[in-house]
Amino acid sequence: MSGFVSFVGSGPGDPELLTLKAVDRLKRADAVLFDDLSSGPILQYASEEADLVGVGKRAGRPSPKQQHVSNLLVDYAKTGQRVVRLKSGDGGLFGRLEEELVALKDAGIDYEIIPGIPSAFAAAAAAGIPLTRRQTARRVQFVTGHDVTGELPQDVNLTALADPQATTVIFMGKRTFPKLLAALTKHGLSPDTPAILAEDIGRENQQITRTTMQALAEQLSQSIGDTPALILYGPLAEA
C-alpha cells in the first residue's frame, strides 16, 4: 500500500496568497510536514485529524537533517496516507525539493508539485516595485547567500551579480552580505547601488528597508537579527 505526496508551495506566509489547489490539498491531507515559514495561520486549512509535523530548517537553529525529513516523508506515504509536504515560497526555489523527490522516486511513491508564490515576487510587491524595467533591468537573477557550510559560495558568478542592469535577489544572505559586497565592488558594482532589505514578508511584522549596498553591509555587519529576509538590489530598488 502506497500513499501520495503533494509538494505544496505555501507562498511567503500570508494565507490569503495560497492557491486554491494548495488549500484543497491541505484540507484533504492525512499528514502535513511543514517548514517553519509555512506554519502559523496557513495550517488552519489542515484537517483537525491530520498529523502536523514541523520539519523546518533555519540558519543558526537546531534543525532536522535533510535525510531525516526525506525518510519521514517516505514513511508516512508508505502507510497509504495522503501527505502534504508544505514548503515556504515555491518549493522549487532554494527549497531542497529535488532531494525529497529523489527519495520518493526511489521508494516508488507518486507525487505532484503545486507551485507557490515565490517570496522574491512577494517582496517586490510589498516594496511597490516590479522586478524588471524596460531599458534598465532586463534580467532578474536569484542567488543563495550561503552554501551548506553557511559561508558565501565560492563558485558564485560575481561578474553576473555585479551587472548594474540586472535585478538581483539574494536568499538567505544577511550573514554573508558584507563579504559579498566586498567582492562585488572589486568587480565594478558601485557601493551606492540601491538595495532593499525585505524582512518577514507576508507576515504581520513585514518590514521593507530602502537603503544602499554599502549602508546595508554596514548594518548587517553589526547585527543580522533572526528574521527571515531577502535582499534585492539593482536599478529598481530605488523606485
Please give the distance of CA 177 from its chain centroid, rounded to a whole number.
17
**For residue 65, what is its C-alpha cell?**
537533517
DSSP character string of 15-43: GGGS-HHHHHHHHH-SEEEE-GGG-GGGG
- Is residue 21 among the annotated active site residues? no
Kindly provide the b/e burial profile for residues 60-74, where b requires at least 16 CB atoms within 10 angstroms of the residue's own CB: eeeeeeeeebbebbb
- Residues 34, 26: Cα–Cα separation, whole Å: 11
C-alpha cell read off for 198:
525585505
Residue whose C-alpha cell reads 537603503 in the numeric block:
211
Treating both helix axes as pointing N-terminal to C-terminal, what angle do 66-78 and 97-107 enclose, rounded to 10 degrees? 40
Radius of gyration of the chain from its Cα atoms, rounded to whole angstroms: 19
CA proximity to 38, closest of 24, 21, 26: 26
Active-site residue (options: 36, 51, 57, 78) = 57
- The active-site residue out of 30, 35, 90, 163 is 35
Q: Is 35 assigned a catalytic role?
A: yes
Q: Which residues are catalytic?
A: 35, 57
